[in-house]
Structure 1
């Protein structure tokens, strides 16, 4: 079983569709369950992958790219790496570490 969890039901359904398509294209089998409740999603989990964005796309991602560009740096879409990742890390770490 592969649980997905998001507090936003619309994003959860979109994630479910993407994961299902990825599994189908890879020929993988498995059961995906969707949850808006964290405790339900984590019950019996063998491992957890955390993916989230603090602040939203426009105020954060766009700003990260613009600041890098202004200083002659190239930020790739791998936004947790490189110069933009350095700016993003403190916000994410504060959420994970409390």
Structure 2
């Protein structure tokens, strides 16, 4: 059995570096699309973003600070709560 090696994409970057949604998603183990959805619908689950023209970036220092403040909440629980809230209740709806 081969163990999966997980390398944090932010580990080699300086604190002032800016990362895109794909890199932030790799850090959290989700896709870039999920990062954009969370930014719109669950902004409290992500660090504060920086808008540069029509682009959105996150400062590495802000991501590290956010992670340290929210270390008590495991990602799996957060992801499950997000999915549960986004599905809604469709019981009793005729197809």
Is the radius of gyration larger for structure 1 or structure 2? 1
The interval holding the TM-score normalised by the smaller chain is under 0.3
More helix by share: 1
Higher relative contact order (CA 8 A, sep 6+): 2
TM-score, with normalisation over the residues of structure 2? 0.26
